[in-house]
Structure 1
């Protein structure tokens, strides 16, 4: 499926209209369609008014119930997938204020129980020292003090014992020299400390693991429960909410996880690399 970013906002209303038209074409009242789909009439009404974005399974059930032909059904399935996709570009975030994005992430973190972070390029904000956070924002203009403060404030979520966090980083991400050697040593010490928090599981995929790795990391992504996955690019973030997309990324994460080392083995690697940055390496 291909899409234009500007079409994502329209797809929800387009989907609602298309489903409403297919029901009317089939000559079905909302109550009758609801019975065929084993849904409530209220749910059908909310879908057709655009108040509720249906899952792909919902859409497939409705299309089967109204007997849509293949071309019409394919178009509507495409609309449904697009309706579950959101593009957040960096330029829009800068115009709104980067601190607003931090507020959105904090709200998402509040309602999430299980987090999975795959980090092949750099260290994420929840794990970062103040120096590293500032350096990660260096390409942005203006006063970033609020954004830095809110990024650091969000780290308190790691202490919430009702949540679980799994971070998988590549060695390249951990050792990429974003800040001075001494600041990098402090950043790696921070990773060691965070890895000891009971609800945090932090692993690193070392370059010298031995043996071939058949999976090729393509991007940074974060899984929030089974609710959504956020994929980061150089110019923004793609948000996918369809369960099939989320499950595909969960499968990817579990494969990458098998290549990582955790616990004391991970902490020993991080400590050795920290000593190398500080000039005290063996």
Structure 2
């Protein structure tokens, strides 16, 4: 289970309040899920703070638990505050970067679809160990003393690539793939890794060429995660903080942006041709 050191304090507090309300009704999470027509993992994710349900679902939760008006006001107020939540990297990584990566493994565990747009670097799901090591040191997310554990945690997270019940759809710009603050051998190994992963039946990798980037809409990087019960969130990052978005209207904006980026991306043989050209141009 995640710890307070690796989740935001408000998300943890909301999960604890929802759990207390359920337990006060003396029903199990499984029973509550069945009564509301939800999945049991949805209850677990909410109570652990891994995933924030939409406000309408929280209202149903409160009604089911016969929450008082004061309880409803407190819980809904907190939920509204974190429908779009900004958490500093310092807060997220209080327990260490590797521990935060393992929280993400739990966040991802029951999800069935990941849509990743990355205009800057190779997405973490697709990185080689050496690319990860050098990237974390380059951006200061790990130190020489901690980087090995961080790399191991990121590789653990990549296990979902081989679970065919999950679909990983990534759109990466040519600019991100050509970025090379390290020896060309590191980038070539990474490009080879993308070729291998693109052959997996549940992994779809699109590449937006430099020419297409001139036409494509600009956007920050983001990861959209979807669960079989319909829950969806978006995570995007700045240099110093992470933003988690769960408001359905805002999530829909990112869903439309991802589909738009897919329209400009090359797939299959066309993507492999692009990978070859990028590799040939490495110094």
TM-score computed with the length of structure 1 as normaliser? 0.70
Aligned residues: CA RMSD = 3.3
Report the CA distance shift for 1:10/1:90 in structure 2 as closer, same or farther (over 3 A).
closer
Is 1:100 equivalent to 2:99 in the alignment? yes
Distance 1:111 1:188 in 2: 29
Within the candidate set 144, 147, 162, 1:144 is matched to 147
Distance 1:97 1:207 in 2: 36
Per the alignment, residue 216 of structure 1 pairs with 218
1:1-282 map, 5 Å: 55-57=54-56, 80-138=79-137, 139=140, 140-141=142-143, 142-209=145-212, 212-213=215-216, 215-217=217-219, 219-225=220-226, 226-277=231-282
- Give the greater-gyration-radius structure (CA): 1
Distance 2:53 2:191 in 1: 44
Q: Residue 255 of structure 1: SS of its match in structure 2? A: helix
TM-score computed with the length of structure 2 as normaliser? 0.70
Give the number of aligned pairs.
Answer: 230
Q: Residue 169 of structure 1: SS of its match in structure 2? A: strand
Per the TM alignment, residue 115 of structure 1 is displaced from its structure 2 partner at its CA by 0.7
Deviations 1:169-226 (A, max 9, x none): 111111111421111111111111111111001001111238733x222x11001114
Deviations 1:120-160 (A, max 9, x none): 11111211111110111101334221111111122221011
Distance 2:57 2:146 in 1: 45
Deviations 1:225-252 (A, max 9, x none): 1421101111121111122221221111
Deviations 1:69-117 (A, max 9, x none): xxxx9xx988653232333322233431111111111112211101100
Which blocks of at least 5 consecutive residues in structure 2 are unaligned?
1-7, 19-34, 37-45, 63-72
Q: Retained in 2: the 8 A contact 1:131–1:183?
A: yes
Per the TM alignment, residue 54 of structure 1 is displaced from its structure 2 partner at its CA by 6.7
Distance 1:118 1:169 in 2: 6
Q: More deviation in 254-263 or 236-245?
A: 236-245
